Amino acid sequence: MKKLHLCAAVLLSLAVPTLQAATPGDSVLLIHGGAGVVRSEMTPADEVAVRAVLELALRKGHEQLAAGKPALDAVTAAITVLEDDPHFNAGKGAVFTHDGRNELDSSLMDGATLKAGAVAGVHTVKNPVLLARAVMEKSEHVMMVGDGAEIFAKEQGIEQVDPAYFRTEKRWQQLQQALKEEAAGQAHADLETAKHFGTVGAVALDRQGHLAAGTSTGGMTNKRYGRVGDSPIIGAGTYANADCAVSGTGWGEFYIRAAAAHDICARMAYLKETPQQAGEAVINQIIPKLGGDGGAIVLGADGSLATPFNTEGMYRGWIGSDGVPHVALYSDEKLPSHPPAGAKP
């Protein structure tokens, strides 16, 4: 009988695969602080400050990955740092609407589960990316907007602030300039001015091989009529699945029309393009052909990455498992490539 039980146990062990613990792999975090950077508008002090904040965001996100946390935690941590800094058009540095208000949008997507959360048109949420995550994890919905999103934030204990928190003199003066241009009859002056302002985003690959993406923005200077851009729209400004993660920055109307973030991932899946090839095709060919401009960050499941953009500059950076941050601001700055898994050094 003992032999029969032993044989049965052996057969059962062969029939049911043994679950193996995930082998820790390379982790990567890639961020952007917005395309449309104009060198002539940057002071030396601005450059130093922006580079420092980009590095801080990378380090904070890397802390999560190094601790074995999921990619979504790294994305959230990095974007929170950028939302808290007035150099970027997100959170504290959000631009003003035509009516002199700050309207904030954000979204997150978990590539492993295809779960997503987004918010648009919020006025008192200190870190919209945290509210987007709450929508994803604490509700049955994907997107909440305006007053409803504010009520949900209060219910979930998400930190809210007086709207005056978001006011910065630089953004206020940008609105005044846009209003003057508009009054002088310069067509689409608000759009042309706003295209230089920095939406923020992050994409990450964790040690388990899972991807995530997130984006946060204050929208466009002088926008009105409840306008919402691509940043909180899954598939337009943000997208992640098992093979690809994307966050966009640019003229949102064109990213929506092109379903830009999803299109990049679709090209990688169906055309077997690399992040560089897919990103270049959508950001530097399709978007400009429609009349828009901007950039994106793209990360593949093998750790390969790309930062395509068609403006003078884009705040960007990445950090790998070694914990060394790499940042760049302008188009003539070379950002080192992260080698795909298995690539020879």
Which residues, other chains included, contact 14 with Cβ-Cβ below 8 Å and sequence gap of 6+? none
Whole-model pTM: value is 0.90
Is the pLDDT score of 324 beyond 50? yes
Side-chain-side CA neighbours of 103 within 13 Å: the count stands at: 23
Residue spans per domain, the chain: 23-330
**Rounded alpha-carbon distances, angstroms, from residue 327 to 26, 47, 82, 336:** 19, 11, 14, 9
CA dist 61 and 69 (Å) reads 10
Helices (H), the chain: 2-15, 44-66, 71-83, 128-138, 146-155, 169-183, 189-194, 252-258, 260-270, 275-281, 287-290
**Residue whose token pair is 């779960």:** 115
Give the N- to C-terminal CA distance of the chain in Å, as an integer.
57
Neighbours of 116 (CB within 10 A): 24
Band (pLDDT 50/70/90 cuts) for residue 341 is: confident
The answer to whether the beta carbons of residues 29 and 74 sit under 8 Å apart is: yes
Residue 238 three-state SS: strand
- Domain 23-330: which CATH class? alpha beta
Q: How many CB atoms lie within 10 A of CB 80?
A: 23
Other C-beta atoms lying within 10 Å of the C-beta of residue 263:
21
Dihedral angle computed from the Cα positions of residues 50, 56, 58 and 61, in that order, rounded to the nearest 10 degrees:
-140
Please give the share of the chain, as a percent, with pLDDT higher than 90: 83
Q: Which stretch of 199-203, 218-222, 244-248, 280-284 has the lowest confidence by average pLDDT?
A: 218-222
Mean pLDDT calculated for residue range 153-167: 97
Q: What is the pLDDT of residue 16?
A: 31
Which of 80, 97, 199, 221 is an active site residue? 199
* CA dist 265 → 170, 243, 274, 308, 310 (Å): 36, 8, 10, 14, 19
Specify the pLDDT at position 3: 43
Please give the Cα distance from 108 to 291 (Å, whole number).
27
Cross-strand pairs, 80: none
> Quick check: 272 pLDDT over 70?
yes
For 18-32, how does the pLDDT look when each residue is reduced to its tens digit (9 = 90+)?
A: 222 333 579 999 999
CB-based contacts of 37, cutoff 8 Å, min separation 6: 196, 198, 311, 312, 313, 314, 315, 329, 330
CB contact burial 147-179 (16+ within 10 A = b; e otherwise):
eebbebbeeeebebeeeeebbbeebeebbeebb
Active-site residue, 199 included = yes
> Residue 198 — pLDDT band, cuts 50, 70, 90?
confident
Neighbours of 197 (CB within 10 A): 24
Residue count (the chain): 345
Between the CA atoms of 120, 122, 125 and 129, what dihedral angle is there, to the nearest 10 degrees?
10
